[in-house]
Amino acid sequence: MFKKKLYQTAIELTNKKWSSQLLKSVVHSKISKQFISSYINIYEIDTKEVSKNITSFPSLEQFFTRELKNDARPIDGRLDVMTSPADSKIESFGAISQDTVISVKGQEYKLQDLLGKDDHAKKYQNGKYIVFYLSPADYHRVHSPVDAQIGRQYILGNNSYPVNQMGLKYGKKPISGNYRMISELQLSNGDQAAFIKVGAMFVNTIQLTNTSNEWSKGEDIAHFSFGSTVVMLFEEHSIEFLQNVQQGYHIQVGEAFCNML
């Protein structure tokens, strides 16, 4: 309990509007370009996958939201599977309870808090969920996991708490408190899924690259600035996780993670 309180106090003292603005101004500045090489070395980023020459990026932020070469992430084209929306670590997955609660790193989250309304949450009673965590080392563009029509799409939350391992364990429920964008996916088989993009510490930036009401499997739909999280919710009896879905497993864009039932 003491460790949790100490962590939360430290975050509250540093996670302010001024610190967010300072970080944004630094990473968008021309000066930040000189840090790109160090960033690559620290996080061991494979630059052979990047779509253009490293020296052409004008700032650290532009490198962070980089595009990859077209063949860097093959998309599993099977119609009955969903594919990972991001290069990420599977932080948590499992069943949604009858009272629409999920558990992530020992913290319980009510879906009505995450989605904003009770009737939105009830659709996922006894369903399944999965949490994808994108670290600063990961490629930070988000891709559609499936062909889908977009129903409601809305934004909730104002906080920008960390969504890393410590943040999820000791933070003030960042998944349901942080700035987040919720997209309701209408699938071709009649099922529905919730696709939730959660902002991270200091920088609440979720930039859409597809603003239409239709997503195609594997297409680039958005990008984050710095570490972030994607949460997906599924209706009861709509999907079945594949064997590669294990806590801590690092999955890549285009890799199948569930069968559609």
| 241: phi then psi, degrees, rounded to nearest 5 | -65, 145
The one catalytic residue in 32, 59, 87, 225 is 87
CA dist 137 and 111 (Å) reads 29
Quick check: is 87 catalytic? yes
Nearest by Cα to 232 from 93, 113, 75: 93
So what's the pLDDT on residue 222?
93
Tell me the DSSP string of 69-85: PTTSS-----TTEEE-S
- Per-residue pLDDT tens over the stretch 211-239: 999 999 999 999 886 668 899 999 999 99
Tell me the DSSP string of 140-198: -EEE-SS-EEEEEEEEE--B----SHHHHHHSS-HHHHB-EEEEEEEETTS-EEEEEEE
The one catalytic residue in 92, 135, 228, 238 is 228
How is residue 208 written in tokens?
Answer: 């859409």
What is residue 245's three-state secondary structure?
coil
Quick check: is 46 catalytic? no
How is residue 39 written in tokens?
Answer: 């960033």
Quick check: is 250 catalytic? no
The one catalytic residue in 120, 135, 138, 143 is 143
- Per-residue pLDDT tens over the stretch 108-157: 889 998 999 999 999 999 999 999 999 888 999 999 999 999 999 998 88
Q: What is the pTM of this model?
A: 0.86
